[in-house]
């Protein structure tokens, strides 16, 4: 302590190191060893610091010397310990400001600073105040020395033992840190593998879904391809029929006229033959009434009358004469039906022959509406919204008839009272036409059939079922599309899209 006086028993006494050091101690006496181990000296007596440094000035262990740091009080010691957490050893005086200052510093090192590596060597000149047995049991220290017994040789031995222990602890700590680092890397690798496996599983699931989706799309595409092939085959067939029909229809008018003339002639012959038969009947009655008995006639006359009666019965002459007018009428009606079919076919075959002109779709729609308004109930409310549209090069007459047929269907669906809305807009590159009705709607099973020829349902008796078929043909011929959405008892919407750049649209459709 700071109150020690010369001659006290707590003065540090060193024996002559040259006399007391054995030859095989393993210690080096070479000077100027490079510092490698930090030694902290904590004591309130300056002479202790001087003597300790003097004795250990040429100390070397494993090729490294000592670097000294001194503290003369508890506060200085704590500060020094914080500044040198990598110190290998501390020579710690027990009694300084108080009788247990060194013990408090030992507790501070282990508990507050959590430093388990530094080797603590307690030195005391007053062992009675700090009994060795109690100190060793109660505090985590590594050596306990009384200053009176701490010769230079024993100091060397204590320092060497402490450094050897420190090196072992450092190696263990480094190994622990390496193991911890490897564990961290291993955990990171495991985490990466887990993430990779998770991503792989997720990717596999996505791939499975993508394959399922692609498989479904492929099946759909194959079905569509089969449908397109069938449509192409049908179109080819119809094209061939159309080529033959277009060449033949003009020739069918002449046979029809001749057939009608022949029917008229046959009817005239029927009238004349009927009149002749009636005359024969009268003549036969006159002969039979003027002769009392048939056997009074010559045999030839009798045979002729009998043959005539038998022939009339075999021919069922009365039925023929009664049905003859009906047969003639049926034949005339059949010719009329054939003529109508020929006209219908002509209508579609000549679609491409209609002249094209730069037209305004709003004007075409208004013209179709005007033709229809007087044919349907005035209670039907027609609402229109015509926006500015670019002019388009189309077959105007055909397009007007197509619009007429679509709007007529809307009127028929609306019934006696309903709402029809017609709107136009330009959504580049197409003109879009909406025609909607709040009416009876179209059943789902009929929605795929409405563009088929001669399909009619809930139509007037005279309806042919060619209106929407014709409209669809006209729109497609113009490079456009026509779509129908409908719900029973709610209404129907027809959307017509016509490309302004028709040539480009037709090329795209062909490709």
Sheet order of strands, 430-437 included: 381-386, 419-427, 430-437, 491-499, 481-487
Q: How far is 200 from 202, CA to CA, in rounded Å?
A: 5
Statement: the pTM of the whole predicted model exceeds 0.85? no
User: Confidence class of residue 444 from pLDDT cuts 50, 70 and 90?
Assistant: confident
pLDDT digit string, tens, across residues 220-263:
888 888 887 777 666 555 554 554 455 455 555 555 666 667 66
Q: Give me the CATH code for the 17-150 domain, please.
A: 3.40.50.2300
Q: What CA–CA distances, in Å, run from 26 to 22, 57, 164?
A: 9, 16, 12
Residue 471 tokens, joined: 């409209």
Give pLDDT tens digits for 167-192. Answer: 999 889 889 888 988 888 888 889 88
Containing H/E element for 381? Answer: strand 381-386
Architecture of domain 355-510: 2-Layer Sandwich (3.30)
| Residue 426 CB coordination number (10 Å) | 14
The end-to-end CA distance of the chain, in Å, is 107
Give 14-34 pLDDT, tens digit per residue: 444 443 333 333 333 334 556
Tens digit of each residue's pLDDT (9 = 90 or more) over 250-308? 555 555 666 667 667 777 766 767 776 766 667 666 766 666 665 666 677 767 777 77
pLDDT at 506 over 50: no
pLDDT tens-digit readout, 368-424: 888 877 766 667 778 889 999 999 998 888 888 888 888 888 888 777 667 888 999
Structure confidence at residue 128 (pLDDT): 61
Q: Where do the structural domains in the chain lie, given as residue ranges?
A: 17-150, 207-349, 355-510
Q: Encode pLDDT of 465-486 as tens digits.
A: 677 888 888 888 888 998 888 8
- Tokens encoding 439: 């009416």
The structure tokens listed for 147 are 């200053």
- 3-state secondary structure labels for all residues of 423-485: EEEEECCEEEEEEEECCCCCCHHHHCCCCCCCCCCCCCCCCCCCHHHHHHHHHHHCCCEEEEE
- Quickly count: other Cβ atoms within 10 Å of residue 361's Cβ: 23
Cβ atoms within 10 Å, residue 306: 11
Please, which contacts does 302-309 make with residues 24 or more away whose CB atoms are closer than 8 Å?
Answer: 308/280, 308/284
DSSP code, position 114:
-
Give me the pLDDT at residue 69, please.
96
């Amino acid at each position: 302590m700071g109150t020690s006086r010369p001659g006290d028993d707590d003065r540090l006494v060193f024996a002559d190191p040259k006399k007391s050091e054995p030859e095989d101690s393993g210690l080096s006496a070479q000077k100027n060893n490079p510092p490698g181990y930090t030694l902290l000296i904590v004591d309130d007596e300056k002479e202790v610091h001087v003597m300790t440094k003097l004795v250990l000035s040429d100390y070397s262990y494993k090729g490294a010397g000592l670097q000294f740091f001194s503290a003369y009080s508890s506060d200085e010691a704590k500060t020094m310990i914080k500044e040198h957490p990598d110190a290998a050893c501390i020579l710690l005086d027990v009694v300084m400001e108080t009788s247990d200052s060194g013990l408090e510093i030992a507790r501070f090192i282990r508990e507050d600073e959590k430093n388990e590596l530094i080797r603590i060597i307690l030195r005391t000149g007053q062992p009675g105040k700090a009994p060795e047995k109690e100190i060793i049991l109660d505090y985590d220290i590594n050596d306990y020395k009384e200053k009176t017994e701490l010769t230079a040789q024993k100091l060397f031995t204590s320092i060497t033992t402490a450094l050897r222990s420190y090196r072992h602890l450092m190696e263990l700590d480094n190994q622990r840190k390496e193991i911890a680092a490897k564990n961290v890397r291993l955990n990171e690798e495991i985490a990466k593998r887990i993430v990779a496996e998770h991503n792989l599983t997720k990717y596999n699931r996505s791939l499975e879904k993508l394959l399922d989706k692609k498989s479904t799309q492929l099946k759909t595409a194959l079905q569509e391809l089969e449908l397109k092939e069938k449509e192409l085959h049908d179109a080819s067939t119809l094209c061939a029929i159309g080529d033959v029909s277009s060449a033949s229809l003009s020739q069918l008018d002449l046979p029809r006229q001749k057939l009608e003339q022949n029917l008229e002639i046959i009817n005239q012959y029927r009238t004349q033959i009927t009149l002749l038969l009636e005359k024969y009947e009268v003549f036969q009655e006159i002969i039979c009434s003027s002769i009392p008995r048939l056997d009074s006639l010559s045999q030839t006359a009798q045979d002729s009358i009998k043959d005539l009666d038998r022939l009339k019965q075999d021919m069922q002459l009365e039925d023929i004469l009664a049905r003859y007018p009906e047969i003639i009428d049926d034949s005339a009606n059949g010719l009329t039906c054939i003529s109508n079919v020929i006209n219908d076919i002509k209508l579609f075959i000549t679609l491409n022959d209609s002249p094209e002109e730069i037209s305004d779709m709003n004007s075409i729609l208004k013209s179709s509406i005007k033709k229809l308004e007087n044919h349907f109930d005035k209670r039907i409310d027609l609402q229109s919204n015509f926006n500015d549209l670019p002019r388009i090069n189309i077959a105007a007459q055909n397009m007007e008839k197509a619009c007429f047929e679509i709007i007529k269907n809307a009127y028929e669906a609306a019934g006696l009272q309903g709402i029809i809305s017609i709107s136009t807009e330009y959504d580049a590159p197409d003109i879009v036409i909406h025609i909607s009705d709040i009416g009876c709607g179209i059943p789902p099973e009929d929605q795929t059939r409405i563009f088929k020829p001669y399909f009619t349902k809930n139509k007037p008796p005279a309806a042919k079922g060619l209106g929407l078929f014709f409209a669809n043909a006209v729109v497609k011929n113009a490079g456009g599309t026509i779509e129908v959405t409908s719900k029973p008892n709610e209404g129907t919407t027809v959307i017509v899209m016509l490309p302004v750049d028709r040539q480009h649209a037709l090329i795209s459709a062909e490709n």
